[in-house]
């Protein structure tokens, strides 16, 4: 692990300023890292797209659990809105704090790339998680599931509910989010090849705003009276589109699926306004993110297959693409949604 450098007064002031936009969460049992104390303790900072929503809070819980078990310090801070500029300010703050590993889920991969290079030039290990910045210097992308797997699972779940035919629309979130766009590309291709009687009529972007997703889904149903399906492409739009169907009294005539966290989707799965949620174990993704930061900071080579813990005994790493894959997506329905507590 590289030696720590003292944080300057200016960096402290910047960090204090950024805290107004979103609080930094540390592993409370640790005293080292950039916060002072034990200079040899590894600090892993994770910057989500948006702080305060169930999905990234579940990732944070997983990261905190990893920190306790691995003996590292976990720093978590994100913008309060899905804003690339606000996220960039937080990344700059962590660079100034001289963390050992900096991991980001970028709102805008292209604008984040220069900041990741700045961090790497200072000797900070850099990676992405949940959302990639493939044209950056990131050393690893911690991927929740393959784009092909997620796109196909979303399409199959919706087509199963719609009977394999009909018109549907997608309510996505960030227009520049690499992961969402990759999934949508798979859905477009897979729908055309495997479900010739189905058609995607529109794709709209609601940011990370559930209320906006509900409003856009309502507008889509009004503009397309023959619409029979909606996809919520992220964890805020998945419950948003289901709420729109519920509000319109169209349960059973307009079907929805999406990428929603179990607790947020439970009422919609139970009343039928959503047929399924396609996701993965989000807490495990957070744990794997923290574990990856530790491996990079310690200079450990990530093997082709990694025994991370008892829940993740065979996590695969592709050396060519530098992608560490959590595993296949999960289909969450009314029958198994109670198995999750986030």
Q: What are the tens digits of pLDDT across the range 6-27? A: 333 233 333 333 333 334 444 4
Flag the least confident range among 37-46, 48-57, 96-105.
Answer: 37-46
Tokens of 113: 């790339």
Q: Which pLDDT value is given to residue 259?
A: 96
| Residue 338 and residue 54 in contact, taking contact as beta carbons nearer than 8 Å | no
pLDDT computed for residue 26 by the predictor: 45
Rg of the Cα atoms in the chain? 20
CATH 3.20.20.70 fits 9-144+281-327, yes or no: no
pLDDT exceeds 70 at position 296: yes
CA-closest candidate to residue 274, choices 287, 293, 258? 258
pLDDT at 30 over 60: no
> What are the phi and psi torsion angles at 156 (to 5°)?
-60, -40
User: Is residue 35 pLDDT above 70, yes or no?
Assistant: no
Contact 171, 216 (CB under 8 A): yes
The residue behind tokens 């991991």 is: 103
Reply yes or no on whether the pLDDT at 310 is more than 50: yes
Burial degree of 334 (CB within 10 A; 0-12, 13-18, 19+): middle
Question: Read out DSSP for 24-46?
Answer: PEE-TT---GGGSS-TTS-EEEE
Q: Summarize pLDDT for 152-178 with one digit per residue, the tens.
A: 999 999 999 999 999 999 999 999 999
pLDDT in tens, 128-146: 999 999 999 999 999 999 9
pLDDT of residue 124: 98
pLDDT at 95 over 50: yes
Averaged pLDDT of the chain: 90
CATH architecture, domain defined by 147-279: 3-Layer(aba) Sandwich (3.40)
Q: With cut-offs at 50, 70 and 90, classify the pLDDT of residue 39.
A: low
- Whether the predicted pLDDT of 38 surpasses 90: no
Domain spans, the chain: 9-144+281-327, 147-279
Tokens of 287: 């744990």
Q: Which residue has the tokens 């659990």?
A: 65
C-alpha separations of 36 from 42, 132, 251, 327 in Å: 12, 31, 55, 36
Q: Report residue 289 as tokens.
A: 């993110």
The sheet with strand 43-47 has its strands ordered as 25-26, 73-76, 43-47, 101-104, 125-129, 141-143, 323-325, 315-318, 305-306
Residue 236 three-state SS: coil
pTM equals 0.82
Q: Give the tokens for residue 189.
A: 């291709």
């Amino acid at each position: 692990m590289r030696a720590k450098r003292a944080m300057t007064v200016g960096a402290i002031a910047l960090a204090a300023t950024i805290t107004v936009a979103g609080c930094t969460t540390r592993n409370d049992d640790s005293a080292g890292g950039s916060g002072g104390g034990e200079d040899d303790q590894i600090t892993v900072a994770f910057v989500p797209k948006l702080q305060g929503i169930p999905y990234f809070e579940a990732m944070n819980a997983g990261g905190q659990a990893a920190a306790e078990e691995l003996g590292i310090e976990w720093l978590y801070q994100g913008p309060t809105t899905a804003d690339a500029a606000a996220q960039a300010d937080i990344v700059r703050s962590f660079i100034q704090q001289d963390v050992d590993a900096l991991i980001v889920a970028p709102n805008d991969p292209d604008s984040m790339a220069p900041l990741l290079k700045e961090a790497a030039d200072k000797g900070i290990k850099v990676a992405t998680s949940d959302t990639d910045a493939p044209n950056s210097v990131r050393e690893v992308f911690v991927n929740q599931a393959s784009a092909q797997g997620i796109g196909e699972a979303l399409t199959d779940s919706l087509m199963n509910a719609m009977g394999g035919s009909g018109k549907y629309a997608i309510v996505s979130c960030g227009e520049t989010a690499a992961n969402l766009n990759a999934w949508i590309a798979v859905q477009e291709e897979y729908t055309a090849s495997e479900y010739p009687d189905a058609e995607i009529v529109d794709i709209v972007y609601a940011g990370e705003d559930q209320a906006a997703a509900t409003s856009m889904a309502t507008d889509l149903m009004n503009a397309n009276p023959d619409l029979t399906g909606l996809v919520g492409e992220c964890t805020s739009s998945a419950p948003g589109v289901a709420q729109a169907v519920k509000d319109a009294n169209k349960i059973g005539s307009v079907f929805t699926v999406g990428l929603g966290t179990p607790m947020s989707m439970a009422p919609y799965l139970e009343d039928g306004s959503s047929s399924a949620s396609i996701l993965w174990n989000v807490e495990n993704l957070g744990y794997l993110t923290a574990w990856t930061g530790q491996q990079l900071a310690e200079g450990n080579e990530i093997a082709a297959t990694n025994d991370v813990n008892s829940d993740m005994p065979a996590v695969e790493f592709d050396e060519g693409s530098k992608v560490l894959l959590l595993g296949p997506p999960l289909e969450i329905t009314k029958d198994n949604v109670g198995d999750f507590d986030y």
